[in-house]
Amino acid sequence: MKLLYKILFVAAAGWALTSCDKYLDVKPKGLVIPERLADYEGILNSPTMTRTFPLNLLDFTDDYFNNIDVLAQSPAANGYYWRPIITVNEKASPDVWGPLYRVIYDANVIINGVPATPEANTELANSVIGEALVIRANCYLELLTVFARSYHPATAANTPGLPLVTSINVTDKTPARSTLKATVDTLIANINRAIPLLPTSNTNKSRVTKYVAWGLLSRIYLYMGDFENAEKYTDLALDAPHAMLDYNAYATYSAVPRYEQSSEVLWHRAAVSGSPLFMIYSDDLKAHFNDDDIRYTFLTTTNNNGLGRSSLPGTYNFGITFPELYLTKAELLARKNQYDDAMDIVNMIRQNRIKTAAYADQTAGSGEEALALVLAERRRELAFSGLRWFDMKRLDREGRMPEVKRINPDTQEVYATLAPGSANYTFEIPVRVQLFNPGMELNHQ
């Protein structure tokens, strides 16, 4: 002990004589404090910025069947049964909210930090900022589908949206929820700011291009019901180089190109964690398929619980695909009553998905008929792709969503019902967030 105290004396004296003027003088070793553009660009390659899709969004959909215990209070059960609070545990990072705001933090690091680098205002520096703006907007769009009511133009200015965070100091106070309109307007403004900064091609499909930004605008305007703008940006996104894959050309699913390199993928987004493998197809979704559909062979697997989802080679993608953009285009044409043009697109997709021997064109006699066929094709093509909850929410706003039920397959007991226009289309602000922000406006008053 004596020796220890001697050492302490010497250390104390030494410290007194040489102490730093500021804390900032002591910089950590072996780690990087971002200073150069390359440090910030590296963040765009991080797992945080490339694995951004919260898998919970699949739990909420009518694509999915789960025999999960109705008494369970886990996020999976709460999401599946549309209970307002997804994450009951107020100590844990809340599902969906936590991981997406974590991505938003990284995006803000880039947006705030790049202008202070020596390379600021170069073409590359600007495009790095542009990529962060688009990734951030995508996170907010996903958050909107979960934690804010659907977008009605008439009421959006009086409906709560999301807290829009720009600070990267962890002790800063969270801003109040912007209105739904202000939130969406900010996203659109951010993407429009990004477009002139972005390149037309990038190092890999996880990185952002102009086309990705247009594709995201296509989604946002579709969600808002602004079909004119949705079509404009869908067309722009479809200008990106791409090619549909004819599933008839592959003997097995394993011969299909990997998601990361597929000519059908515009933007690759991986799940934050987990995978949809073995998630069970609901009876409703199964009824959309028949055995002539190669998707039914390539993308299903049977296990003890029923017919489960499987994956094409590579890391499962929840980002923007060209089939999605085509189906959006077809939907918008059908809505304008251009039903033949809409069906041309649907048939183009089907030729690539249905066994050639069994293929026959589908036809529609009206815009409404075509719309039904487009939406059915969208169910099939985009099953478990991360967009169904987004679709359910916007279709419910139009009164196009039937009642969805969670039924015990053994007893036929109805465990939960998501009625048209139900308040449960919107989940509640997570408990942990409520505790930090007692004044925050809630969705279920």
| Residues 95-134 close enough to bind another protein by CB under 8 A | 97-98, 101-106, 109, 113
Sort 52 into a burial class: Cβ within 10 Å, 0-12 / 13-18 / 19+. Answer: buried
Asked whether position 83 contacts another protein by CB under 8 A, the answer is yes
Nearer to another protein, 154 or 170 (CB): 170
Among 17, 18, 21, 33, binds another protein (CB under 8 A): 33
Pattern 164-183, another protein, x by CB under 8 A: -x-xxxxxx-x---------
Site for another protein in 308-327 (CB under 8 A): 314-315
Closest CA to 403 of 388, 417, 385: 417
Beta bridge partners of residue 406, listed in sequence order:
416
State the minimum distance, in angstroms, from the CB of residue 171 to another protein.
5
Window of 5-13, 179-187, 339-347, 357-365 that interacts with another protein by CB under 8 A:
5-13
CA 18, 19, 23, 29 torsion-angle sign = positive
Q: Around 301, how many Cα atoms within 13 Å sit in the side-chain half-sphere?
A: 10
Asked whether position 355 contacts another protein by CB under 8 A, the answer is no
Hunting for tokens 């004819």 — which residue is that? 246
Q: How far apart are CA 13 and CA 8, in angstroms?
A: 8
State the minimum distance, in angstroms, from the CB of residue 102 to another protein.
5
Window of 24-32, 126-134, 185-193, 386-394 that interacts with another protein by CB under 8 A:
24-32
Q: For residue 274, which amino acid is it?
A: G
Asked whether position 27 contacts another protein by CB under 8 A, the answer is yes
Q: For residue 21, which amino acid is it?
A: D
Among 39, 235, 284, 369, binds another protein (CB under 8 A): 39
Q: How far apart are CA 211 and CA 439, in angstroms?
A: 39
Site for another protein in 228-267 (CB under 8 A): 258, 260-261
State the minimum distance, in angstroms, from the CB of residue 225 to another protein.
28
State the minimum distance, in angstroms, from the CB of residue 19 to another protein.
8
Q: What is the DSSP string of 399-430?
A: T-PPPEEEE-TTT--EEEEE-TT-GGGSPPPP
Bridge-based pairing state of the strands 51-53 and 270-271: parallel
Asked whether position 435 contacts another protein by CB under 8 A, the answer is yes
State the minimum distance, in angstroms, from the CB of residue 128 to another protein.
12
CA 208, 210, 216, 219 torsion-angle sign = negative
Among 17, 18, 30, 252, binds another protein (CB under 8 A): 30
Asked whether position 11 contacts another protein by CB under 8 A, the answer is yes
Hunting for tokens 């007692």 — which residue is that? 438
State the minimum distance, in angstroms, from the CB of residue 243 to another protein.
18
Size of residue set near another protein by CB under 8 A: 87
Asked whether position 445 contacts another protein by CB under 8 A, the answer is yes
Residue 389 has a CB neighbour count (10 Å cut-off) of 21
State the minimum distance, in angstroms, from the CB of residue 38 to another protein.
8
Asked whether position 88 contacts another protein by CB under 8 A, the answer is yes
Q: How far apart are CA 224 and CA 180, in angstroms?
A: 11
Both tokens of 156, joined, read 């959006």
State the minimum distance, in angstroms, from the CB of residue 50 to another protein.
6
